[in-house]
Structure 1
Amino acid sequence: MSPRRSGAKRPRDTLARWIALTTLGAMLTLLALNALFSQLAGAWARPPLMETGLIEKIAAITRIIDSATPEQRPAIARAASDQEFSTQWLQQHAEARVPVVDDPEYSDGAVRLRQQLGRPDARVEGYEPSDWPADQPGGRYTALIELSDRSWVMFTLPARNWGLDEWERNLITLALMILSTLVVALIATRHLAAPLERFAEGARRFGVDHQAPPIPVIGPNEIRQAILAFNAMQAQLKHFLQDRTQMLAAISHDLRAPLTRMRLRGEFIEDAEQQARLFRDVDEMQTMVNSALEFFRDDARLEHATAFDLAELLHTIVDDFKDAGIEVSFEGAHRLVYLGRPIGLKRALTNLIDNTIKYASEPAVRLETGAGRVEIRILDRGPGIAPEFHEQVFAPFFRLEGSRNKHTGGVGLGLSAARATVLEHGGTLVLRNRSGGGLEARISLPLD
């Protein structure tokens, strides 16, 4: 069924409608600006000889002078002069002292003048200020009309800055067209860009903060539909993460009961060596369960993003290790404002630095910025990690053989948690061996 038959209403605020309205608005604005220009500037936008009513006035004066006697003509010419133009009767063409041009014919108004004069064969000449030589001052607009007795009448209009050539008038029209298009386009793009910018900002915020609120549903219909789809996806992801976290936390919690029963039953084992082995396995499993519960119930994941001083956070972490008697060097800016979750980042950075202290020596932290990103490099001098394990170590519960001893105390969740925190901030965490020995953990975070 068609929308008309089914009673469904098509959305009115759409991108297609805005594009059509933008085009129509640009055209109407151009016409309005052009009309305004013509209204305000009037005949000043054209050469004075083209002014409305001026040709008719010149033709009337010419007819009066032509019908008068030669003795009366100078007085009539003086009387016809006013502020707009001056009139002069000349017995000879040479008295006009006009410049020599290739074609003095007044092509723009000659036909109209001849019609007004009723003399199709009348000679009409027109001159513009540009016809006068550059070294000869006094350039002006001049019209010469031959009378029936071969004498002439000269009309002189002063030159003015607004007398424009045709190409100049066309240039103004083109400028008005561009201006009107830009004005309408800026208004339309502002209306369209604002919801798109909020959409992009909401998407970036969700990448950093999983608890971010939904994006406001505003803008044209297509953009609103995209925002609604994104908000639905965001809600589904949050629901999925919560369900997964609760499920895994419940499993880890339920494992405590059988571990406790195993320890109780182990008390009845008479073989001391077998009992010690069982207790070690139970303790290791208990440690893994506790670590998993801490990982899944990480309160830092519920932390909202906020602006904080990342450099100051690194200084605080380094100072905490110094208070514990461990020297960690630091290089970088003393102040760097960053939008993120400070508790989660502090835990991830502390974990990475703690690994350098456990498995290597000479721990160091470097803070660098550039190209819209901030990089945190955690360095050490030690055996490093074989390249084939650089990605594998980030898998949950994965531990290298060298770390499987009772003194390290790790269960293989530290790097997983650190990378998860960095990924939640839209960044990356990679490992690489250093030349001369040692390992580098490089965190790259985007700067909004």
Structure 2
Amino acid sequence: MRKLRSIVVGMGLIVALSQLFSCAPKKTQQEEAPVLDTVVEVKMPELRYGLPIDSFSLEMGKVKNNQYLSQILNARGVGMGTIDKIARKSRDVFDVRKIKSGENFCILSTRDSVPVAKYFVYENSPVEYTVFELTDTLGIYQGEKEVKTRQRTAYGVVESSLWNAMVDNGQDPMLALELSDIFAWTIDFFAIQKGDRFRVIYDEQFVDSVSIGIGEIYAVEFDHYGEENYAFFFNQNDTLSYFDEQGKSLKKAFLKAPLQFSRISSRFSNSRMHPVLRIRRPHQGVDYAAPKGTPVKTIGDGTVIARAYQARGGGNYVKIKHNSVYTTTYMHLSGFGKGIHVGAQVKQGDIIGYVGATGLATGPHLDFRIAKNGQLVDPLKVKTPPGKSVAEENMPRFIAFKDSLIQELQKIQWDDLDQILANSN
């Protein structure tokens, strides 16, 4: 009996232990090594001009007429001694005397009850700026704002002028000048007529979400007198230029100089001592010294629009209109070339006159001038267009490029523009 009791007690103990272990919770691998992710959000400072503006109080302003840097800073508590050091130290970076009225500036000051100016930022242009540190270091450095581009499509129908067509369609009117420059050798924009129409693919540039102008123009279709004129901005051998749909250049090269000369005796200047009058006045041309009678040639194809004499000025002179953008003038001539009269058509290299010393001149020379859109420019800085068509080896790439842009242009149907024109009549 005693042996049987021992067996029963032993069995009961085994059952009890098995129940105990079967009821215990099983640990999973995740429960044994729990992982907790902690995310810490870090707020990045807002930067402007490369400075953390969250830490400062900002004052935006515009330079007033006849206002100098010293007046702006001194009114904000910057001492004249510090201002003098800034002016002298900044000469190699930015001459403070070139600060112009109407330009923007920003002053960054501490957020104290009595603000202390720490930085003065002058915006040289919509993109460039100069930072003046008003701390002990008095550092001066320049920077540039980020320029963002957005691709745009413009189109319109001419009612009175291309400029007005841009304005009427809510587009930047400066686009009209860009188109006249692109088609300068193809279309006379002084002769465009009502019903001429255009469509363009181009970039618009933005700084701080504000438009600052036109960027690259990639493709243009201009329907003039019912004739389609195309322009495509194509990269050929690392040179970007405009070509028509056949790959021919839209630019024609000017001659480097209108004559064979011995030296340049006077350059383009806005303040030159006149050799005869002995007073300072602008000389907006280039003087080429050469013997009397040296042939003077037109630098490009065009039409003679003036052949006259100025006793107190350029003496015998010829003016040639090359296109709707460029005109050239040749002055102090001793005589005119054969067949040179108002209305005459001339070809590049034609002799239009001979070097002389007529008018106000101390010796024989040619006073040569170039006007672009009516504004005299330095002839030595006018970039001569390449004038080369697309090379044979580049034609497959050009054709693919051109065809893709034409498809984009044709997404604006002429029928839509016809309806616009019909509604305006």
Q: Same fold (TM over 0.5)?
A: no
Query: Structure 1 length as normaliser, TM-score?
Result: 0.21
Q: Kindly indicate which of the two structures has a greater share of residues assigned to strand.
A: 2
Query: Structure 2 length as normaliser, TM-score?
Result: 0.22
Larger RCO: Structure 1 or Structure 2 (Cα < 8 Å, ≥ 6 residues apart)?
1
Which has the higher Rg, Structure 1 or Structure 2? 1
Q: Kindly indicate which of the two structures has a greater share of residues assigned to helix.
A: 1
